[in-house]
């Protein structure tokens, strides 16, 4: 997997500070744009870091909860803005202590299967946190929110989840890393959201029975005062080591038109989901 991380040129776009007050929908549009650009050889392979203020990103299945309005009202009452992404996966919490990283690769010239995409991200995280590398495991943590076969955990406690987005021969492998704060508090929020959304009703879809004790932040697990911003700095240094050249750049003027297209599409899809 290290071969995918060792590039002649990495592009690095840091939105860990600049994007914090923006809607997470803008991040989905940004990754769609990068998939298009990287997949069509219009941009080098790219890593993007992003952080958003108190939001809960819901999946399509979440929006089908029998009492979804009550669930979303509960999140708002707790100070979190709910949005719906038009893709798989389930509810995840975003806040200033959660760092999201997207690795955007091209498969225009050679196929990259789904598991390989996940493995590349796992390798990046282990390389980024060398002290924890041997302890990090990838398997589904039952009782976590948004459970998946590539949950990252230490000692059975999940601190990260990975997803993928594929578009125009580009692949965005995305991870949310709970760096700071309390993982169990975030899990409690989602547990209560499902309780409000279900209200005891039986559904065809099995929603996760969230157990807050199986989730933690990396700071808690490593017993270190880790920060999102130091992690971003460490990631930038790592990319410099893994490449001949690191290009630090946001979207350029000629790329903004494409971003506007994807941004409009993402907001329209979210609007349709919320109107159902």
CA distances from 49 to 98, 136, 198, 232, 234 (A): 11, 21, 34, 7, 12
What letters, b where the CB count within 10 A reaches 16 and e where it falls short, cover 40-58? Answer: eeebbbbbbbbbbbebbbb
Q: Is 178 a catalytic residue?
A: no
Spot the catalytic one: 51, 57, 146, 177. 146
Q: In angstroms, rounded to a whole number, what is the distance separating the alpha carbons of residues 229 and 97?
A: 10
Q: In angstroms, rounded to a whole number, what is the distance separating the alpha carbons of residues 232 and 61?
A: 32
Beginning with the edge strand found earlier in the chain, give each strand of the sheet holding 98-106 in spatial order. 136-138, 152-154, 157-167, 170-178, 98-106, 46-50, 7-15, 243-248
Which residues make beta-bridge pairs with 163?
A: 174
Mind telling me the catalytic residues? 146
């Amino acid at each position: 997997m290290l071969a995918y991380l060792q590039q002649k040129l990495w592009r690095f776009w840091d939105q860990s500070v600049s994007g914090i007050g923006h809607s997470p929908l803008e991040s989905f549009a940004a990754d769609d744009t990068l998939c298009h650009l990287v997949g069509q050889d219009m941009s080098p392979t790219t890593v993007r870091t992003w952080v958003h203020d108190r939001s809960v990103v819901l999946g399509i299945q979440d929006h089908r909860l029998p009492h979804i309005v009550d669930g979303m009202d509960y999140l708002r009452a707790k100070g979190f803005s709910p949005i719906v992404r038009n893709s798989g996966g389930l509810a995840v919490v975003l806040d200033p202590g959660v760092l999201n990283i997207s690795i955007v690769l091209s498969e225009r010239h050679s196929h990259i299967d789904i598991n390989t995409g996940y493995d590349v991200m796992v390798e990046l995280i282990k390389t980024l946190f060398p002290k924890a590398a041997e302890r990090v495991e990838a398997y589904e943590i039952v009782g976590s929110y948004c459970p998946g076969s590539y949950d990252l955990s230490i000692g059975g406690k999940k601190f990260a989840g990975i997803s993928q987005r594929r578009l125009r021969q580009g692949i965005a492998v995305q991870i949310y890393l709970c760096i700071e704060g309390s993982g169990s508090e975030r899990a409690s929020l989602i547990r209560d959201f499902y309780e409000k959304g279900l209200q005891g009703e039986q559904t065809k879809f099995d929603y996760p029975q969230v157990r807050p004790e199986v989730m933690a932040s990396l700071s808690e697990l490593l017993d270190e005062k880790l920060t999102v911003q130091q992690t971003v700095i460490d990631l930038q240094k790592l990319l410099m080591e893994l490449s001949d050249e690191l290009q630090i750049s946001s979207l350029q003027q000629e790329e903004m038109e494409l971003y506007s297209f994807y941004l409009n599409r993402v907001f329209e899809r979210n609007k349709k989901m919320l109107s159902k």
